[in-house]
Amino acid sequence: MSGALCQLLSEKHPMATERYNPRTSEPKWQKAWAEKKLFEAQNDDPKPKYYVLEMFPYPSGKIHIGHTRNYTMGDVVARYKRARGFNVLHPMGWDAFGMPAENAAMQNKVHPKDWTYENIAVMREQLKMMGLSLDWAREFATCDVDYYHRQQMLFLDFVEKGLVTRKSSKVNWDPEDMTVLANEQVIDGRGWRSGALVEQRELTQWFFKITEFAQDLLDSLDRLDEWPEKVKLMQHNWIGRSEGLLIRWPLAVASSDKIGGDTRELEVYTTRPDTIFGASFMAVAADHPLARKAAESNVELAKFIEEVRHMGTSVAALETAEKKGFDTGIRVVHPFDETWTLPVYVANFVLMEYGTGAIFGCPSGDQRDLDFANKYGLPVIPVVMPEDADAKTFQVIEEAYVDDGVMINSRFLDGMKPEKAFNEVAKLLEEKTIGGRPMAERKVNFRLRDWGISRQRYWGCPIPMIHCEACGVVPVPKADLPVKLPDDIEFDRPGNPLDRHPTWRHVKCPQCGRDARRETDTMDTFVDSSWYFARFTAPWANEPTEPKAADEWLAVDQYIGGIEHAILHLLYSRFFTRAMRETGHLNLAEPFKGLFTQGMVVHETYRVGGPSNNGRWLSPSEVRLEDIDGKRHAVEIATGEEATIGALEKMSKSKKNTVSPEEITDGYGADTARWFMLSDSPPERDVEWTDEGAAGAHRFVQRVWRLVQIAAEQLPGVKPVAAKDGEAGAVSKSAHKILKAVGEDIEKLGFNRAIARIYELANVLATPLNDVAEGKADAALKGACREAVEIMVHIIAPVMPHLAEECWQALGGAEMVAERPWPVFDPALVVDNEIVLPVQVNGKKRGDLTIARDADQGAVEKAVLALDFVQKALEGKAPRKVIIVPQRIVNVVA
């Protein structure tokens, strides 16, 4: 910029520039929106529908900034879609059952109900301060009797349809507290409270038969084209369909006799029957019937099984533990060789839940089997080798060979490809018989297990079933619902308070009228969150849904939530929608049309007393950051002690690196917080909260306000008109290009890109608006500026709705921006007549070519070859090749 212009800009404008004050503006507009009920969706609205939903929060006590980023994303979409003429449903609720309420009850002697509803009240106010365009009329909490009543109705309908079953499964048992522990409550194999060694226990529990939908849940993934590929892949792998062979290995006669003689075979599921000649051992789960049988006469083995049972139930714990086995002494006979017997081990890495709970180990073709074989001195026979290897010298010692290749050391299979060998083994074993059955059967197996929903806890939805000694398990009649949680409970002892309640569990059997007892298990909280999105479509309904409303609103057009829910919550919801379809509550299979998984908000951590485990964590507000010789230091304000700056981590209470929304809204206002959270970082990635970033965002708020004030004072009554040429034309072209880009970016949830474009528009407007203020603008520039400012106000509105309203009012707008349509760009203004083509020589950029947009390839080539830097590079020779990518780039190969 020239010195003269600098001088002009520095001259004081005649008007006083008042700073924008969010503390007065934001509540004012929030009230105005609420009074007009702008965000309450009507089910009978004839406009096209759009359902945007963010995963609802657990009411842990306070909203933190991570929540608000999530909700702001949804809010931007909701406000944008509303402006585009959609009937938008954007509801909010509370995932309100769960363990933390019970923990609070035990620690602080608060009733889980009071604790939860108090938290909800606090968090609702926090959300309201953020200016989210939510339909609060549809709000509910999953712990509302009204909601779990309908969930019990759904449960009974599922029971009737045969979608519910009872079976035995394992839980983490804390022998000291006499209670069931969640996986997260098991730390290094011990109970988090008692410190006692946890053991596995079998309990009869309730399950939803999600496995009946396994194939459909898998196949339907292909049609979810608005889901991230990675989530679909994760679900694909989780469902884990495999085609394999069930092989029945005969027990050696001596072995069979040893364990009583009535067990004569070992059933094994394998996806690699082709490697059957590489087998060197069998391994069964610790709770496999054969293991138990063998342990009856083997004290050492019983001890080993006991040890395995102390590992906790989580797969991660099992698989990261050292691979261990114990030889049962039992031997099986090889299906293709009666003289070949193999040992049967009990192994800690074999899971009873998967397949048949027994495997055959082929060390050369599986790394885990190889490690196991090496540890216990079992033979390693390579049976598949790369096609170009030599069968005589090919060896497997430390590293298993798992790729495709050719069969070796496998008798009649030698030379085949593994796939053919698979079919050959299957065919031959299907023909053989054992105990009157074929020795092998082809079987499709899923890794997916049925969904265990029983929880031995108080704060959850009671399972509406009754146990009668005469009639068995009887459903509570629908007329007797809801089964309400009793309020008078004690948390003075661990365990489930429902179990020891004096009266609650006693009930008459609905069938025979005799004394019976209620089921005291409550449902997994994932059940609550598996259908809340459907309930939002008619939260007033007496039935779980109003099927018409559900079918009209669903699927959710845009669902937004954390990647941590990529598997369980989303898979369970997909199951639930199918089950609700079978029971007539709605009529679709897939609940979420578009899915977006956003990143977390992270913050540095600070601790004093060294980085070791005994350090003391400090919150950002307790720390002063200093810059010494370019190095950042953190000092505890209270003591002056130097604190260690730790890694960026997910905000958590334990590490005290949380930032609450009030810390920003109290100072800068909600719009600044919303703007900052969406700028810079792409929404799917984590965002680091920094004070500098928030301050920068706030500077922009004030900058927009200043620009609008100039326009409001200098351009009153000026008609907004786009210009085609000159300085005014440049303003209009930029404004329309940016308007177009911002719309496209929001559609793609590219909020950070949209924000970068809006910054550009503000930059573009700065000089012309100053010209206007200096009285140097002609009518065309005034009209163009007025139009561009109005565009700017509308495109900031989804992210900074309060500021937009204040600006629009200053510009003399009659209605609120929240009620106004999205501006329309002029297609003629978003294309340029001349384009600048980068010109490369041998793939390196050497200059530009400015040429008419519609110039044909020949004209482009001619113009490029005439450029002096191209001539110089060619040294008078003809180019070997000229690659012209239309509208993109030119590459001259010399």
Q: How far is the CB of 524 from RNA (least distance, A)?
A: 6
Q: At what angle do helices 779-796 and 751-773 cross, to 10 degrees?
A: 150
Alpha carbon 606 to chain centroid, angstroms: 28
Comparison of 478 and 880: residue with beta carbon closer to RNA:
880
Comparison of 109 and 844: residue with beta carbon closer to RNA:
844
Q: How far is the CB of 617 from RNA (least distance, A)?
A: 16
Alpha carbon 689 to chain centroid, angstroms: 20
Nearest-angstrom CA–CA distance, 378 and 355: 24
Nearest to 809 by CA among 783, 790, 781, 782: 790
Comparison of 88 and 164: residue with beta carbon closer to RNA:
164
Q: How far is the CB of 315 from RNA (least distance, A)?
A: 4
Q: How far is the CB of 644 from RNA (least distance, A)?
A: 15
- DSSP H or E segment with residue 745: helix 726-747
Do residues 210 and 195 touch, judged by C-beta distance below 8 A?
no
Residues 403-428, buried b or exposed e (16+ Cβ, 10 A)?
A: eebbbbbbeebeebebeebbebbbee
Tokens 């035990």 correspond to 106
Nearest-angstrom CA–CA distance, 402 and 522: 45
Comparison of 50 and 700: residue with beta carbon closer to RNA:
700
What residues pair up with 851 in beta bridges, in sequence order?
835
Q: How far is the CB of 439 from RNA (least distance, A)?
A: 28
Q: How far is the CB of 64 from RNA (least distance, A)?
A: 13
Comparison of 253 and 836: residue with beta carbon closer to RNA:
836
Q: How far is the CB of 485 from RNA (least distance, A)?
A: 15
Which region, left, alpha or beta, applies to residue 564 given φ > 0 means left and ψ of -120 to 50 means alpha?
A: alpha
Comparison of 330 and 697: residue with beta carbon closer to RNA:
697
Comparison of 117 and 336: residue with beta carbon closer to RNA:
117
Comparison of 375 and 845: residue with beta carbon closer to RNA:
845
Q: How far is the CB of 251 from RNA (least distance, A)?
A: 29
Nearest-angstrom CA–CA distance, 671 and 663: 13
Which contacts qualify for 371-376: CB closer than 8 Å, 24 or more apart?
A: 371/323, 372/281, 372/283, 372/323, 372/325, 372/345, 372/347, 373/280, 373/281, 374/398, 375/323, 375/325, 376/281, 376/325, 376/327, 376/345
Q: How far is the CB of 619 from RNA (least distance, A)?
A: 19
Nearest to 358 by CA among 330, 377, 382: 330
Q: How far is the CB of 686 from RNA (least distance, A)?
A: 6
Comparison of 259 and 687: residue with beta carbon closer to RNA:
687
Tokens 């965000």 correspond to 39
Nearest-angstrom CA–CA distance, 253 and 448: 36
Comparison of 554 and 890: residue with beta carbon closer to RNA:
890
Comparison of 254 and 893: residue with beta carbon closer to RNA:
893
Residues 619-650, buried b or exposed e (16+ Cβ, 10 A)?
A: ebebbebeeeeeeeebbbeeeeeebbbbebeb
Comparison of 9 and 541: residue with beta carbon closer to RNA:
9
Nearest-angstrom CA–CA distance, 853 and 869: 22
Q: How far is the CB of 229 from RNA (least distance, A)?
A: 6
Comparison of 337 and 688: residue with beta carbon closer to RNA:
688
Comparison of 16 and 479: residue with beta carbon closer to RNA:
16
Alpha carbon separation from 709 to 25, 300, 702, 716, 793 (Å, rounded): 15, 85, 10, 11, 12
Do residues 61 and 122 touch, judged by C-beta distance below 8 A?
yes
Helix, strand, coil percentages in the chain from 3-state DSSP, rounded to 5: 40, 20, 40
Nearest-angstrom CA–CA distance, 800 and 25: 12
Q: How far is the CB of 177 from RNA (least distance, A)?
A: 13
Q: How far is the CB of 548 from RNA (least distance, A)?
A: 30
What string of DSSP letters covers 87-142?
EEE-B--B---SHHHHHHHHHH---HHHHHHHHHHHHHHHHHHTT---BGGG--BT
Q: How far is the CB of 696 from RNA (least distance, A)?
A: 3
